[in-house]
Structure 1
């Protein structure tokens, strides 16, 4: 009437142990670790790209603000006495040409030329010696000096932007996390064959391209995202159209 209790077979314990073991290359542990390494690389890559991108965008807007201030100063200088107007406009053209043709090469190295500051200081000193003859000339002189102050402020910001770069730790962390993404599948036991090998090579190429991009955009005034001198070139063309 009573059923006999089932006896536990030795094989049941061994099957449970085999189920708990995680030795496969695509097992839970390996999959989780690979996902975390990929997430780390993407996080570092995003930081390393977004920060220089933001700095470059701000620096580009700043160059246009400086060029616009030069253009406005050029306009207002026309209302100064003839000799002063001619000298002031010539100084503004000389500064703009200097920035476009000579200083931009220094910006690519993170430097700003002292000669540029000397040109601005000389112009500022000359304007300070002018004695307006009437209210109209006084207003024009004030306008030129106000625009020159904006040029000074934009130039100071340009000096800061030229030296901006990612911390070296971010750069090396990008390289390290990229290496982990590429090496981990092989360390976990994966051995790509056939078409899968092409997929792995495509992954490797994409990761290395990302690392190259991080290093290429690290400087504001050089590389694929580098700010060029188009704002000052535009101002130079506008000078020629101002009567």
Structure 2
């Protein structure tokens, strides 16, 4: 059974249960006159607010976790690049020069070309090709001495880490919270805003001002969770700081 169908059935079940409880227990003089105490209204409002806060907290926690993971993975990838660059220092002169030049080209392309592309929800194919060029050059280097063999093995091992972390970054580009949670958040937010008006508490200008504040707060919360949902989009986008630092380390190791 589809997960969306299960969610829909659960929602319908909740509505039916609430309707049945309302019909069975919602009888009496107070119900017929439509008069309720402030305590009862506060309880209903508190339930609505708690539902919205619960959904918002779930969205923010999930999105923030994904954002933090995406940022951490960029540093893992950049650190692996510097390890490859360092290990390449033990290769024969010609191979060392070629591999390091290709690593610089790949890192430069990630910083200046790929990160702007990540904001559109996709990776840069040319950056993949640039990384493949590094692997191809490294694999074709002939080594004979024991230290050169060890250097090549270390470079290949760290390059495999670069591929793994890059693949993780590519997967996170299109990752996000499930659509059903966004629908639940929007419905809860709309009903939270509409609740005072449904009770007739928006018939005075001062009450309308308060209701507008509630609407602004709910809209801001929804907007914030939406912005956090995409780790490579502004305003909370992961930046290529780690790769810029790797470029600095390359120049240091050259010296």
- Judge same fold: TM > 0.5, yes or no: yes
Name which one, 1 or 2, has greater alpha-carbon Rg: 1
Residue 221 of structure 2 is matched in structure 1 by 210
Deviation, 1:28, is 5.2
Residue 171 of structure 1 is matched in structure 2 by 182
Residue 235 of structure 2 is matched in structure 1 by 224
The number of residues matched between the two structures is: 227
Mapping for residues 1-243 of structure 1, pairs under 5 Å: 18=29, 23-24=34-35, 27=38, 29-191=40-202, 193=204, 195-243=206-254
SS of structure 1 residue aligned to 2:253: coil
Contact 1:70 1:235 in 2 (8 A): yes
Contact 1:53 1:225 in 2 (8 A): no
Residue 12 of structure 1 is matched in structure 2 by none
* Structure that is richer in helix per residue: 2
Contact 2:80 2:162 in 1 (8 A): yes
Deviation, 1:213, is 0.7
Rounded to whole Å, the distance in 2 between the matches of 1:237 and 1:176 is 49
Deviation, 1:29, is 4.8
Contact 2:202 2:211 in 1 (8 A): no
SS of structure 2 residue aligned to 1:207: helix
Deviation, 1:183, is 0.6
Rounded to whole Å, the distance in 1 between the matches of 2:150 and 2:178 is 47
Contact 1:60 1:227 in 2 (8 A): yes
Deviation, 1:24, is 3.1
Contact 1:25 1:188 in 2 (8 A): no
Deviates more, 1:166-175 or 1:186-195: 186-195
SS of structure 2 residue aligned to 1:241: helix
Question: Are residues 100 and 202 of structure 1, via their aligned partners in 2, closer, same or farther at CA, if it must alter by over 3 Å?
Answer: same
Deviation, 1:133, is 2.3
Q: Normalized against structure 1, the TM-score is what? A: 0.86
Rounded to whole Å, the distance in 1 between the matches of 2:74 and 2:119 is 14
CA RMSD in angstroms, aligned pairs only: 1.9
Question: Are residues 139 and 31 of structure 1, via their aligned partners in 2, closer, same or farther at CA, if it must alter by over 3 Å?
Answer: same
Q: Normalized against structure 2, the TM-score is what? A: 0.82
Rounded to whole Å, the distance in 2 between the matches of 1:170 and 1:91 is 44
Deviation, 1:199, is 3.2
Rounded to whole Å, the distance in 1 between the matches of 2:150 and 2:33 is 82
Deviation, 1:19, is 5.8
